Amino acid sequence: MIKFPPVKPKPLPKSLIYQNGEVYNMFSTKTGKHLGRMIAGERFYGKIAEEDFEFYPNKENYVSLYIVGLLAKVKGQGIGRKFIQFAKHLANNERCQGRVTVYALNNQDGKILNASSPFFRKCGFTSSEKPGLEDTDRVIKGLKPLHGDWYCSLPMYLPVK
């Protein structure tokens, strides 16, 4: 009789992500609770595209993984960062070549702390719109934004290495 060495089972990850089309839901493996949702899909950008946003400077006709929306049900637990890491993984293919884009929608209620651009900036995103990026960096440092259009959207992208 062949004896196999005992196999120590690997522990489950703290969370799992399930895909349904372009919707990605994260659940806790401990409690089964829904932790958050990301909507993302590949988009073509260029002169013939319907959406002609300029995310990547001096780049024409490219495909990126576009994050339409990201929602963490509980803030401060790393759920959003896990989704960003997952988005980087999804974009690591021949079409996207590591490009990830998002329109950071800063809240219209005037609450600087609820703006999404500081979160994406801390995750490594940047923008070709310098005034919006400067305001984002000021908010991260605890200062007030200088530009009156702070409460709008900021096109952001992850630099490709």
Domain 12-102 CATH assignment equals 3.40.630.30:
yes
Cα gap 34→24, rounded to integer Å: 11
Between residues 159 and 106, the one the model is more confident about: 159
Structure confidence at residue 96 (pLDDT): 95
Q: Cα torsion for 21, 83, 124, 111, to the nearest 10°?
A: 100
The single-letter DSSP state of residue 152 is S
Cα gap 126→146, rounded to integer Å: 18
Cα gap 41→2, rounded to integer Å: 49
Structure confidence at residue 138 (pLDDT): 87
Structure confidence at residue 65 (pLDDT): 96
Structure confidence at residue 106 (pLDDT): 73
The pair of three-digit structure tokens given for residue 138, joined into one six-digit string: 């000021």
In the chain, which residues fall in CATH 3.40.630.30? 12-102
Cα gap 5→140, rounded to integer Å: 52
Per-residue pLDDT of 41-88, as tens digits, reads: 999 887 655 555 578 877 778 899 999 999 999 888 999 999 999 999
Per-residue pLDDT of 98-155, as tens digits, reads: 999 999 887 655 555 567 888 999 999 999 888 888 888 988 898 877 766 665 788 9
Beta pairing partners, 67:
40, 102
